[in-house]
Amino acid sequence: MAALDQTQVKEGVDQETVDAVREVSTYKYGWDTDIEMEYAPKGVNPDIVRLISDKNEEPEWMTEWRLAAFERWTKMDEPNWAMVHYPKIDFQDQYYYARPKSMEEKPKSLDEVDPKLLATYEKLGIPLKEQMILAGVEGAEDMPAEGRKVAVDAVFDSVSVGTTFQDELAKHGVIFCSISEAIREHPELVKKYLGTVVPVSDNFYATLNSAVFSDGSFVYIPPGVRCPMELSTYFRINAENTGQFERTLIIADKGSYVSYLEGCTAPQRDTAQLHAAVVEIIIEEDAEVKYSTVQNWFPGDENGKGGIYNFVTKRADCRGDRSKVMWTQVETGSAVTWKYPSCILRGDESQGEFYSIAITNNMQQADTGTKMVHLGKNTKSRIVSKGISAGKAQNTYRGLVSMHPKAKDSRNYTQCDSLLIGDKCGAHTVPYIEVRNNSSRVEHEATTSKVDDDQLFYCRQRGMDEEEAVALVVNGFCKDVLQALPMEFAMEAQQLVAISLEGSVG
Amino acid sequence: MLEIKNLHVKLEEEEKQILKGVDLTVEAGKVHAIMGPNGSGKSTLSYVLSGRDGYEVTEGSATLEGEDLLEMEPEERAAAGVFLAFQYPVEIPGVGNMTFLRTAVNAQRKARGEDELSAADFLKEVRAKAKSLKIDADMLKRPVNVGFSGGEKKRNEILQMAMLEPKMCILDETDSGLDVDAMKLVAEGVNALRDEGRGFLVITHYQRLLDHIKPDVVHIMADGRIVKTGGPELALEVENNGYADILAEVN
């Protein structure tokens, strides 16, 4: 009964979305929400850092932590080794804090959240209701009838507007809330783990994030608990000239398991916007974390105007023996992507996996890959990267596999495939391999291919139009990675592949 | 059904005339065979009719039920009912055979303004049709043509043809690379699709395929033209005496 109602709602929403698409060409999430915002003054300095800390009602130790990070950041230089080119970013010409006015008084429950905000997420297909995710999801017929639950933390510009299923999760001892709430409510956990995977001094963007992060998600899974549902955070940048600096901290205690999903979109704007996130994951003995991202920030228009500059530091620390982490990312958006989700394989027999699809079209640039740092004995890692370039885009895989002296008998397998569509784009593969013991094995395979005219003609002769044919061939190329995604994400990702490549042929 | 008039075609990249005035009419319900020596333009004709890039029509016309094929995109021709069974079916890694078929069927239905086939109906139909071509469930799941044997690839082409139910089927050397048993299976598949509303153009080097798919009309093509047309006996003549006699006779 309930499912039926929601299906109808979804259909209504889809119509709206269809209209939105017509207005903004191919990027489906390019509309903005007209909502009264409250900004901190432009630019960044210790006062702004204090203001953000104050807005989040943080304890003094947190404010000090931020200020120390800011102090350090002022002495750092922007990295320039990546194969991406963009106009110099004026870090003083950005807003570092923007929140909807209606969020001034923190809503106590989802019922109190501004309907405009709820409508925004509804329109994005992320209803902030505690319901089965599969209601109205295409292709759901193959799934068990009872569906699956997904808890959502929704971050709108600088603040988290609400988190679903908190009570049900609490029954299992799982903490899932915004990081600002965690700093207030669970300071002992935050103090123990924050900055231990990505140190404050890690890199230019991570250090800036440490100073000015405004919100993000926090997850703690207690020992032996298999999280009863998937957790997800949905990031939406709405305000103009505003950077989004979110911070995510995930702790999987001994023998626990969680699957975490991250989605991102932003309105279509003429000016580029900055996004510099940090994600830290701590995985204790025998625990396992799966982290999946579908990144669909606005990529800029076909001339390279606008779009998100995405400078992200994501790292998982497999601290305990036999711990496991799996990163899966589908990167379709952003004008510039600089992102290397990494695994520190510290525990003996720990395992890290990285599956990536990076699609660049028009003027997009992506420099992305991973780092697998093998410290423990018998550690294993696997990298499967699929880069697709179309238009005038440049796509770089950059990866490091490092076998330390104590990482005896460790193994890595890397497969990097690049696919080119048209003759104006580029694909680059930059693998770094360091092996400092003689019992470990590293394998690296790389291929570069073009979408073949014969394949396209074969598909078209069977009735598919050119774009459908390209999408089919590319989805086939990405299959190994798409299979690693949770069901709902895999379907979304497949459609996204098709949308991202619109206009790439002919 | 298919009407080709005075068709002249050259390669786009170079000044090489391949078809030099082809006239051919295939009626609904009939099977026409085209035979001819290598390089006579048989495969080019199949590509030009289905809309492959790289060819330029310099003169003449080709219509299907009165509609100008040459003005259409390849997928429009497919939706209008043109099907080409490829001499060398193309591999598409990572795309399941079933997914490919379903995408193709629904793309054509959509283009014709019909409803998409539901997953259940599609599955039922594909399983029944696959069975008669001895295509097992495993082959339906494997990526399109990847690692298929020669016989499997050709059977797969016929399965696609059976699912898409085209009006005009063009078979480009479907017998090449097949042993006798595989050829029989393919021929049976084709024969099962013969009906009053459907035309066939079977391109082949050899008579042996025509033992199994009995043509109504046989054409001999040479140097970009159809030089002789006759009944099934013409194919036997080629089988017995080769092309030399016929070519000498027309010259």
Q: What is chain A's pLDDT, residue by residue, as a tens digit (506 residues)?
A: 333 333 232 333 334 433 433 333 467 777 777 777 788 888 899 999 999 999 899 999 999 999 999 999 999 999 988 888 888 889 998 888 888 777 777 677 777 777 777 777 777 766 666 654 433 333 333 444 345 677 888 887 777 777 888 888 999 999 999 999 999 999 999 999 999 999 999 999 999 999 999 888 999 999 999 999 889 888 877 777 778 898 999 999 999 999 999 887 766 767 778 889 999 999 999 999 999 988 887 788 888 788 888 999 999 999 999 999 999 999 888 889 999 999 999 999 999 999 999 999 888 899 999 999 999 999 999 999 999 998 899 999 999 999 999 999 999 999 999 999 888 899 999 999 999 999 999 999 999 988 888 999 999 999 999 989 998 999 999 998 988 888 777 877 887 887 778 777 65
- Quote the CA–CA distance of B175 and B30 in Å, as a whole number: 19
**H/E run at residue B183:** helix B180-193
* CA–CA dist B26, B226 (Å, integer): 14
Chain A residues touching B79 at Cβ < 8 A: 463
Q: In this structure, what are the phi and psi dihedrals at residue A270, rounded to the nearest 5 degrees? A: -75, -30
Q: Chain A: give the shortest CA distance to residue B78, in Å.
A: 5
Question: SS3 for A393-404, per residue?
Answer: CEEEEEEEEEEC
**B170, B201 Cβ separation under 8 angstroms:** yes
CB contact under 8 A, B92 and A476: yes
Whether the CB of A458 is below 8 Å from some CB of chain B: the reply is yes
The terminus-to-terminus CA distance of chain A in angstroms comes to 46
Q: According to the model, what pLDDT value does residue B205 have? A: 84
Distances in whole angstroms, Cα of residue A272 to Cα of each of A33, A305, A336:
18, 7, 10
Domain span at residue B10 reads 2-249
Are B92 and A460 a contacting pair at CB < 8 A? no
Question: Is A465 near chain B, with CB under 8 Å?
Answer: yes
Asked whether the beta carbons of residue A472 and residue B100 sit closer than 8 angstroms, the reply is yes
CB contact under 8 A, A464 and B103: yes
Any idea where the domains of chain A sit in the sequence? 14-159+172-372
Compute and round to an integer the Cα radius of gyration of chain A. 22
Query: For residue A77, with 0-12 CB atoms within 10 Å meaning exposed, 13-18 middle and 19 or more buried, which class applies?
Result: exposed
Residue A144: predicted pLDDT: 42
Q: Which of A357, A461, A474 to mutate to test the interface with B (most CBs of B within 10 A)?
A: A461
CB contact under 8 A, A468 and B107: yes
By CB neighbour count within 10 A (0-12 exposed, 13-18 middle, 19+ buried), where does B177 fall?
middle
Residue A132, beta-bridge partner list: A149
Taking the Cβ of residue A477 and every Cβ of chain B, the question of whether any pair is shorter than 8 Å is answered with yes
**DSSP state, A202?**
S
Nearest CA in chain A to B90: A455
How high is the ipTM of this complex? 0.96
Q: Is A373 helix (H, G, I), strand (E, B) or coil?
A: strand
A370 Cβ neighbours under 8 A, 6+ residues apart: A327, A340, A341, A342, A343, A354, A356, A383, A385, A399, A400
Instruction: Answer whether A226 touches B (CB < 8 Å).
Output: no
- Closest partner residue to A476 (CB to CB) among B74, B79, B94 is B94
Q: Please count the structural domains in chain B.
A: 1
Helix axes B97-111, A466-477, angle to 10 degrees: 160
| Tokens linked to A271 | 């000016």
Cross-chain residue pair B95–A476, CB shorter than 8 Å: yes
> Least CA distance to B86: which residue of chain A?
A458
B181, B203 contact by CB (below 8 A): no
Summarised one tens digit per residue, pLDDT across range B14-59 is 888 999 999 999 999 999 999 998 889 999 999 999 999 999 999 9
Which of B117, B144, B159, B160 is best to mutate for the A interface (most A CBs within 10 A)? B144
Chain B neighbors of A494, CB-CB under 8 A = none
Q: How close A462 comes to chain B (CA, Å)?
A: 6
Q: How far apart are CA B156 and CA B160, in angstroms?
A: 6
CB distance A456 to A494 below 8 Å: no
Cα–Cα dist B101/B153, whole Å: 14
Query: How many angstroms separate the CA atoms of A355 and A281, rounded?
Result: 17
Return d(Cα B1, Cα A500) in angstroms, integer. 40
Which of A453, A459, A462 is closest, CB to CB, to B53? Answer: A453
* Burial grade of B105 (CB within 10 A; 0-12, 13-18, 19 or more): buried
Q: Which residue of A has its CA nearest to B99?
A: A472
Question: How many angstroms separate the CA of residue B55 from the nearest CA in chain A?
Answer: 13
Q: State the smallest CA–CA distance between residue A141 and chain B in angstroms.
A: 9
Burial of residue A222, with CB atoms counted within 10 A of its CB: 0-12 exposed, 13-18 middle, 19 or more buried = middle
Task: Please name the residues in contact with A296: beta carbons below 8 A apart, sequence gap of 6 or more.
Answer: A29, A263, A264, A265, A332, A333, A496
Q: How close does chain B come to A382, measured CA to CA in Å?
A: 19
Of B53, B90, B107, the CB nearest to A464: B107
State the pLDDT at residue A103: 76
Cβ neighbours of B73 in A, within 8 Å: 460, 465-466
Determine phi and psi for A108, rounding to 5 degrees. -80, -25
**How many Cβ pairs within 8 Å bridge chains A and B?**
80
Q: Which two tokens stand for residue A73?
A: 């950041």
**What is the helix, strand, coil percentage profile of chain B, to 5?**
40, 30, 30
Q: Which two tokens stand for residue A82?
A: 């990546």
- Token readout for A183 is 């700093």
The strand pair at A150-156 and A159-163 is best described as antiparallel
CB-CB neighbors (< 8 A) of B108 in chain A: 462-463
Q: Which member of B51, B94, B164 has the closest CB to residue A477? A: B94
Q: Does position B216 have pLDDT exceeding 60, yes or no?
A: yes
What are the start-end ranges of the E strands in chain B?
2-11, 17-26, 31-35, 55-64, 67-68, 82-85, 92-96, 143-144, 168-172, 199-203, 217-222, 225-230
**pLDDT tens, residue by residue, B86-115:** 999 999 999 999 999 999 999 999 999 999
- Distance CA(A261)–CA(A234), nearest Å, equals 8
Given this model, what pLDDT does residue A19 score?
42
Residue of A nearest to B53 (CA): A457
* Cβ <8 Å between B107 and A462: yes
B137-163 residues labelled b (16+ CB within 10 A) or e (exposed): eebbebbbbeebeebbbbbbbbbbbbb
> Can you tell me which residue has the tokens 């608990």?
A225
CATH of the domain at B235: 3.40.50.300
Residue A288, beta-bridge partner list: A257, A324
Closest Cα partner for A370 from A411, A422, A321, A429?
Answer: A429
**Which residues of B touch chain A, with CB atoms under 8 Å apart?**
50-53, 73-75, 77-79, 83-84, 86, 89-95, 99-100, 103-105, 107-108, 111, 119, 143, 160, 164
Contact A289, A319 (CB under 8 A): no
Nearest-angstrom CA–CA distance, A282 and A194: 10
A436 near B CB under 8 A: no
Q: Which two tokens stand for residue B59?
A: 């003169």
Beta bridge partners of B25: B3
Chain A residues in contact with B112 by the CB 8 A cut-off are none
Distance, first Cα to last Cα, chain B: 30
B161 neighbors B198 (Cβ within 8 angstroms):
no
Partner-chain contact B79 A473, CB within 8 Å: no
Spatial CB neighbours of A81, under 8 Å, sequence gap ≥ 6 = none
Q: Kindly give, in sequence order, each residue whose CB lies less than 8 Å from that of residue A334, ignoring residues fewer than 6 positions away.
A: A275, A295, A297, A298, A299, A307, A308, A309, A310, A364, A366
B164 with A472: Cβ contact below 8 A: no
Pairwise CB contact (< 8 Å): A452 & B90: yes
Among B246, B238, B239, B235, which Cα is nearest to B213's?
B235
Distance CA A99, CA B198 (A): 66
Shortest CA gap A460–chain B (Å): 5
CB A211 within 8 A of CB A75: no
Q: Which run of H or E residues covers position A357?
A: strand A351-360
Closest A-chain CA to B96: A476
Q: Do B92 and A455 touch (CB under 8 A)?
A: yes
Neighbours of B128 (CB within 10 A): 10
Going from the C-alpha of A409 to that of each of A207, A286, A323, A350, A404, the distances in angstroms are 35, 19, 17, 12, 11
Q: Taking CB atoms and an 8 Å limit, are B50 and A468 in contact across chains? A: no
Predicted local confidence at residue A126, as pLDDT: 67
Q: What is Dmax (Cα atoms) for chain A? A: 67
Q: What is the DSSP letter of A342?
A: E
